[in-house]
Amino acid sequence: MEAFIALESGRVFSGRMFGAPLETGGEVVFHTGMTGYQEILTDPSYAGQVVVFTASHLGNYGIHRGDHESPAIHPAAIIVRDFCRRTFHRRSELSLDQVLRQAGVPALAEVDTRALTIAIRETGACRGFIGTGDPLTLIAKARALRPIGEVDWVSRVTSRKVTPFPVEPPSPDPFEVAVLDCGVKKSILERLVAEGCRVRVFPASTPAAELLAAPTEGVFLSNGPGDPAALEHLVATVRILVAAGVPLFGICLGHQLLARALGAATVKLPFGHHGANHPVRNVATGRVEITSQNHNYAVPADSIDPAVATVTHRSLNDGSVEGLATSCGRAYSVQFHPEAAPGPSDSLYLFERFREMMRARRGASPLQEMDEHAATG
């Protein structure tokens, strides 16, 4: 069935519909990774977006539910150059087409994704609408969509109740970690467990006092969708967590929330960073780390108070801030995804750092804790 993706800019691209035969729209972004489409489809950070895959061919290894990052398919739609109707992997349970149909998510194939990606790079991430009708009508529907920053996507993807992660850590004396779930990926939880953490996942609406209640030894701020500037209630929660001095680690949206809690700003990037091969420089070591990224917003370096926090990582593509740490040494965050899934594992040491922060805090006496917290403000 012939269908179109119409952008609010007025550009229209034709293709063939597969997946669910439905009309839909959302913010159009492109992803440059060559593999990992299943992880991208099930990453809550993509909620409400139309994802254009720049890889020329998708679907050949099918879908295995055990590799899902969350139970649901989150993008509003996907767009590909070509997709494989048959699967060629022994673990495959469903084809790409089948899983999209079951989830009610439409897709377009046979699209000139190179031209579409160039269009997004020229105009920036924009709203788009997929359908089979008159292209002019589809353009009007794209322009009528609510901007993604005006929707509270976190409330749509967060947990509904406190849930212990079902995998127990290998350590006989695990660290107790509370995860503030803004759309957390399963691979992040698995990585925390691998570092000896017992994990409890809390809804994003959880008050700071509940997150800090015993037996919590550290708090993790998760990835998630949407505009951090629209999540002031979460920023207020993070501000309390920072003041409490609990070891704190944030990724992606969690990084942005920590930055805003420290008084920094966030801005929207022209077309975001979405891929599995983004080079980042560790400021302290000079080491270049290849990272997996998925974000539309960033923290301007000049908005960070150097007395409060320092920049720890920089993008080598555009110089944007990719990590920060508080001056007190109790909280840090990165914009990229050190757990990968999909992507390289150059930055797994960041999870080890979180573990060691909690270990160090265990070794401090209550009096030392009070003195250190008073000294750092």
The catalytic site residues sit at 252, 337, 339
**Residue whose C-alpha is closest to residue 46's, from 123, 105, 114, 89:** 105
**Rounded Cα gap, residues 253 and 334, in angstroms:** 9
Q: Is the CA virtual torsion 282, 196, 355, 244 positive or negative? A: positive
Q: How do beta strands 197-203 and 163-164 pair?
A: antiparallel
Alpha helices in the chain (DSSP H): 37-41, 96-103, 113-123, 135-144, 154-157, 186-194, 208-212, 232-244, 253-261, 349-363, 366-376
How would you class 294 by CB atoms within 10 Å of its CB: exposed for 0-12, middle for 13-18, buried for 19 or more?
A: buried
**Rounded Cα gap, residues 225 and 111, in angstroms:** 26
Q: Is the CA virtual torsion 249, 252, 254, 258 positive or negative? A: positive
